[in-house]
C-alpha cells in the first residue's frame, strides 16, 4: 500500500531562489539521500536534504517504508518549509527506510508531477526512485517506449528508467541493471523497495554519491546511508565510509551491504565544477576537501594572473575560498568588500523595469570602508551570461574603487552542459560569443582573467590537462563531451532545441 500527500501551495507563491533579479550561475539540478536501518528514517532524510538544499531549491520529496506500507510527501518549496515540524508532515512519514530528493528550478512551469522520488508498483512490489543527473538518450528511449504502450505521467528522465524496468524481466536488481545498460548519461541514483536500498553511479562517475554509516550504540546497530555529499552525513552525525565508485551498484538489505559492478568499465570523468562551485565547501568529494580545492584554485589563479592591487575581495559566497587562496599567494590583503544579505527570500517589490536595476543590491552591497580609494581584485567562481558581473563591477566603482580587476577561478564557460546542470543555451554564454577583451569591456572592469585549464588541473594535484585523457568532465569549458549525446544528435544539430527540451524534461 502507498499513501501520498502533497502540498497545496500555489506555484505562483513559491520562492525558487534567493533573488529573482540575479540568477547568473550554473546550477546543480538535484540532490539525493537514502537511509535504511534506523527509526525515524524520514526525519534523518529531511535533515540530510536540508544540508543538501544548495543542490536543489525548487521542490523536495521523501518516500519511506514502514515494513508494510510506503508513505510519501512531495511538494514545491524549500526543505525547511515543506518539512517544518509545525506542519506535522514528517511525523506521518513513519518507517525504518527512506529516500529523498531535492530538485532545482528549470525553465518552464514547475510541476508537482515531476517532484521526486517517483514511485511505481511492479510485480515484485513498490519501488521509489530518486535521480541526480541527466540521461542523454531519454527522448530517444521515450519515443520507443511510447510506441510499445508506455504511458508517461511526468516529463522527467527518471520515469524513463521506471518504464525500462517494467519492460525488463527478473528480480529488482536484474531489471534495474537491464534498464541502466540501455541509458546514456550522467547519474547518481537511489532506489527504495520493500527490502532494499540501492545506490548506483554511472560508469564515468560524473555525478557524486557517498556511502555512510550511522551507529546506534544503544541498540548496537548501524544504518547505512547514501548521500550526494558528505555534508548530508555530517548533519545527522554519520561517518563517511567511502565514495560509491563509478559504475558501482550498492545494494543494502537486512543481510548487510553488497557491491557489484554490472556495467562495462569506462574512463572516469568526475564533474570538475563540483570543486569550483556546486558542492558545499565543507564536503569531502572524491577524496578532496572542497574548501581546500577552492583555495588551491585561488592560489594557482594568483600565480597565473598577478595583479598589482590593494585588496582582494570575494564575490560571496562561492568566491570566498578562492579569494582566500589568491590573497595568500599574492600577499594582497583579503577583505570582505562585498556584504551578502542572507535574508533576501522573496522580493517584497514587483520586479518592474523601473526598479530592476536595483536587483543586485538586494543580494550584495559594497563595503565602502574597505573599497574606497583602493585597487580591487574581485574573485568569483565563473561568468555565465555576465549580467551579474557587470552589476557588481558597477557597484564596486560606485563605492569608490580606483581600479577593478576581475579574476575568475574557472576557465571561460563556453559550452552548455547536458549532464544534469542547468545551463543557458550556448548562444547566451558570454564566453561563447565574445573574445576576452569584448567580455572585459562589456563587464566594465580594468582587467579580466580566468584560470587556465592546465592551471585548474594543477590546482587539483595533476601536472595539467591531458587532452588525450582528461581526468575530469570539463565539457562546459572544453566542449569535450565524454558521454554520447544521442538526443542532441537527433535534434537540430546544434543542441539548441534539445536543450530546451531537456529543461522541460529535467531529472533534477
Do 329 and 201 fall into the same domain?
Answer: no
Q: Are residues 307 and 249 in the same domain?
A: no
| 217, three cell numbers | 550504540
Residue 22 has pLDDT above 60, yes or no: no
**299 and 326 co-located in one domain:** yes
Considering the domain architecture, whether residues 116 and 181 belong to the same structural domain is answered as yes
At residue 9, the pLDDT reads 45
Q: Tell me the percentage of the chain whose pLDDT exceeds 90.
A: 76
In the structure, what pLDDT confidence band is assigned to residue 233 with cuts at 50, 70 and 90?
very high
Let me know the angle formed at the C-alpha of 50 by 190 and 159, rounded to the nearest 5 degrees.
30
Asked whether residue 193 is domain-assigned, the answer is yes
Confidence tier at 361 by pLDDT (50, 70, 90):
low
The three-state secondary structure class of 53 is helix
DSSP state for residue 332 in the 8-state scheme: P
- Cβ distance 152 to 146 under 8 Å? yes
Among 269, 295, 323, give the residue marking a domain's end: 269
Find cell 559566497 and name the residue. Answer: 317
Does the pLDDT at position 396 exceed 50? Answer: yes
Let me know whether 187 and 210 are in one domain. Answer: yes
Is residue 508 included in any domain, yes or no? no
Instruction: Please provide the size of the chain in residues.
Output: 508
Q: Are 505 and 138 in contact (CB under 8 A)?
A: yes
291 inside domain: yes
Least confident of 130-134, 349-353, 490-494: 349-353
318 in a labelled binding site: yes
Q: Is the pLDDT of residue 425 over 90?
A: no
- Least confident range from 97-111, 115-129, 176-190, 237-251: namely 97-111
The verdict on 183 and 297 lying in the same domain is no
Nearest-angstrom CA–CA distance, 147 and 204: 30
Could you tell me if 340 and 317 are in contact, meaning their C-beta atoms sit under 8 angstroms apart?
A: yes
7 pLDDT band (50/70/90 cuts)?
low
Handedness of CA 486, 492, 496, 501 (dihedral sign): negative
What pLDDT was estimated at residue 27? 58
Report, as an integer, the average pLDDT of 185-207: 97
310 and 245 fall within a common domain: no
Q: Which residue has the higher pLDDT, 216 or 18?
A: 216
Nearest to 48 by CA among 222, 238, 320: 238
**CATH, residue 403:** 3.40.50.2020
Across the chain, what does the average pLDDT equal? 89
pLDDT at 429 over 90: yes
Determine if residue 445 is labeled as part of a ligand binding site.
no
For residue 288, what is the enclosing H or E element? strand 288-289
pLDDT for the residue 11: 38
Question: How would residue 409 be classed by pLDDT, with cut points 50, 70 and 90?
Answer: very high
Alpha carbons 410 and 420: distance in angstroms, whole number:
19
* Separation CA 59–CA 319 (nearest Å): 26
Residue 217 has what pLDDT? 83
Give φ, ψ of 82 to 5 degrees.
-65, -45
C-alpha cell, 106: 528549470
CA angle 198, 200, 205 (to 5 degrees): 160
Q: In the predicted model, what is the mean pLDDT of residues 329-344? A: 89
- Does residue 360 have a pLDDT over 70? no
Residue of 492 and 373 predicted with greater confidence: 373
How many other C-beta atoms can be found within 10 angstroms of the C-beta atom of residue 395?
18
Instruction: State yes or no: 380 annotated in a binding site.
Output: yes
Task: Given the residues 30, 191, 231, 407, select the one marked as catalytic.
Answer: 30
Annotation-wise, does 292 bind a ligand?
Answer: no
Which is nearest to 131 in space by CA: 201, 178, 210, 224? 201
CB 296 within 8 A of CB 451: no
- Whether residue 288 is preceded by a cis peptide bond, meaning omega within 30 degrees of 0, is no
pLDDT at residue 21 tops 90? no
Q: What is the pLDDT of residue 5?
A: 72
More confident call, 434 vs 17:
434
Residue that terminates a domain, selected from 269, 298, 317: 269
Looking at the fold, whether 135 and 255 belong to one and the same domain comes out as: yes
Residues 21-29, mean pLDDT to the nearest whole number: 58
> Does residue 416 share a domain with residue 316?
yes
- Give the separation between CA 54 and CA 208, rounded to whole angstroms: 14
pLDDT for 45-95, tens place per residue?
999 999 999 999 899 999 999 999 999 999 999 999 999 999 999 999 999
Number of domains in the chain: 2
pLDDT band of residue 110 (cuts 50, 70, 90) is: low
CA 296: distance to chain centroid?
22
pLDDT score at 488: 87
Q: How far apart are CA 380 and CA 176, in angstroms?
A: 41
- CATH label of the domain that carries residue 142: 3.60.20.10
Which residue range forms the structural domain that includes residue 330? 284-481
Asked if residue 381 belongs to a known ligand binding site, the reply is: yes
336 with 439, same domain: the answer is yes
Query: Taking 90 as the threshold, does the pLDDT of residue 230 lie above it?
Result: yes
Domain-terminating residue out of 269, 298, 330: 269
Q: Is the pLDDT of residue 10 over 50?
A: no
Residue 442 counted as domain residue: yes
Is 30 a known active-site residue?
yes
The answer to whether position 311 is within a domain reads yes
Does the residue 255 lie in any domain?
yes
Handedness of CA 439, 443, 447, 450 (dihedral sign): negative
Output the nine-digit C-alpha cell for 63.
Answer: 518516500
pLDDT in tens, 436-483: 999 999 999 999 999 999 999 999 999 999 988 899 999 999 999 999
Most confident of 114-118, 241-245, 356-360, 465-469: 241-245
One domain, residues 248 and 308? no
Confidence of residue 289 (pLDDT cuts 50, 70, 90): very high
> In this predicted model, what pLDDT tens digit does every residue of 125-142 receive, in sequence order?
999 999 999 999 999 999
| SS3 (DSSP) at 105 | coil
The grid cell for 148 is 510499445
Task: Examine the pLDDT at 505 and tell me if it is beyond 90.
Answer: no
Do 245 and 256 form a contact (C-beta atoms < 8 A)?
no
Radius of gyration of the chain (CA): 23
pLDDT of 107 above 60: no
Checking if the pLDDT of 383 tops 50, the result is yes
- Segment 230-238 shows an average pLDDT of 98
Higher pLDDT pick, 290 / 348: 290
Question: Is the per-residue pLDDT at 228 higher than 50?
Answer: yes
Q: Is residue 22 part of a domain?
A: no
Share of residues in the chain with pLDDT > 70 (%): 87
Alpha carbon distance 262, 248 (integer Å): 7
Nearest 5 degrees, angle CA 366-CA 391-CA 340? 40
- Report if residue 70 sits inside a domain: yes
Same-domain pairing of 249 and 305: no
Amino acid at each position: 500500500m502507498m499513501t501520498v500527500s502533497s502540498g497545496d501551495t500555489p506555484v505562483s507563491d513559491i520562492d525558487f531562489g534567493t533573488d529573482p533579479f540575479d540568477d547568473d550561475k550554473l546550477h546543480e539540478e538535484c540532490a539525493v539521500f537514502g537511509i535504511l536501518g534506523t527509526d525515524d528514517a524520514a526525519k534523518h532524510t529531511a535533515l540530510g536534504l536540508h544540508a543538501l538544499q544548495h543542490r536543489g531549491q525548487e521542490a523536495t520529496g521523501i518516500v519511506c517504508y514502514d515494513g508494510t506500507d510506503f508513505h510519501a510527501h512531495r511538494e514545491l518549496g524549500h526543505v525547511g518549509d515543506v518539512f517544518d515540524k509545525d506542519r506535522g508532515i514528517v511525523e506521518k512519514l513513519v518507517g525504518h527506510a527512506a529516500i529523498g530528493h531535492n530538485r532545482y528550478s528549470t525553465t518552464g512551469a514547475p510541476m508537482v508531477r515531476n517532484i521526486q522520488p517517483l514511485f511505481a508498483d511492479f510485480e515484485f512490489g513498490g519501488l521509489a526512485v530518486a535521480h541526480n543527473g541527466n540521461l542523454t538518450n531519454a527522448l530517444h528511449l521515450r519515443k520507443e517506449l511510447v510506441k510499445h504502450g508506455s504511458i508517461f505521467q511526468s516529463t522527467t528522465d527518471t520515469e524513463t528508467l521506471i518504464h525500462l524496468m517494467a519492460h525488463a524481466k527478473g528480480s529488482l536488481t536484474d531489471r534495474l541493471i537491464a534498464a541502466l545498460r540501455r541509458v546514456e548519461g550522467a547519474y547518481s541514483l537511489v532506489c527504495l523497495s520493500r527490502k532494499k536500498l540501492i545506490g548506483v553511479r554511472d560508469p564515468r562517475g560524473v555525478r557524486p554519491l557517498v556511502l555512510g554509516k550511522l551507529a546506534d550504540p544503544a541498540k548496537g546497530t548501524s544504518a547505512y546511508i547514501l548521500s550526494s555529499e558528505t555534508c548530508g552525513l555530517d548533519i545527522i552525525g554519520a561517518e563517511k565510509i567511502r565514495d560509491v565508485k563509478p559504475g558501482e551498484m550498492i545494494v543494502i538489505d537486512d543481510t548487510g551491504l553488497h557491491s557489484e559492478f554490472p556495467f562495462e568499465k569506462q574512463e572516469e570523468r568526475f564533474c570538475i565544477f563540483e570543486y569550483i562551485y556546486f558542492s558545499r565547501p565543507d564536503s569531502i568529494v572524491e577524496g578532496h576537501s572542497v574548501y581546500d580545492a577552492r583555495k588551491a584554485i585561488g592560489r594557482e589563479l594568483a600565480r597565473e594572473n598577478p595583479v598589482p592591487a590593494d585588496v582582494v575581495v570575494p564575490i560571496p559566497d562561492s568566491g570566498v575560498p578562492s579569494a582566500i587562496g589568491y590573497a595568500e599567494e599574492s600577499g594582497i590583503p583579503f577583505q570582505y568588500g562585498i556584504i551578502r544579505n542572507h535574508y533576501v527570500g522573496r522580493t517584497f517589490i514587483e520586479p518592474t523595469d523601473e526598479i530592476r536595476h536595483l536587483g543586485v543590491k538586494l543580494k550584495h552591497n559594497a563595503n565602502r570602508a574597505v573599497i574606497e580609494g583602493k585597487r580591487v581584485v574581485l574573485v568569483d567562481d565563473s561568468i555565465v551570461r555576465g549580467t551579474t558581473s557587470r552589476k557588481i563591477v558597477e557597484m564596486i566603482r560606485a563605492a569608490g574603487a580606483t581600479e577593478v580587476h576581475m579574476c575568475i577561478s574557472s576557465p571561460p564557460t563556453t559550452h552548455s552542459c547536458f549532464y544534469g546542470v542547468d545551463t543557458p543555451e550556448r548562444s547566451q554564454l558570454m564566453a561563447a560569443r565574445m573574445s576576452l577583451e569584448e567580455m572585459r569591456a562589456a563587464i566594465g572592469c580594468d582587467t579580466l582573467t580566468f584560470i587556465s585549464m592546465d592551471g585548474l588541473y594543477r590546482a587539483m594535484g595533476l601536472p595539467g590537462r591531458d587532452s588525450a585523457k582528461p581526468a575530469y568532465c570539463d565539457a562546459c569549458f572544453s566542449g569535450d563531451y565524454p558521454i554520447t549525446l544521442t538526443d542532441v544528435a537527433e535534434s537540430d544539430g546544434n543542441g539548441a532545441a534539445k536543450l530546451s527540451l531537456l529543461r522541460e524534461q529535467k531529472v533534477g
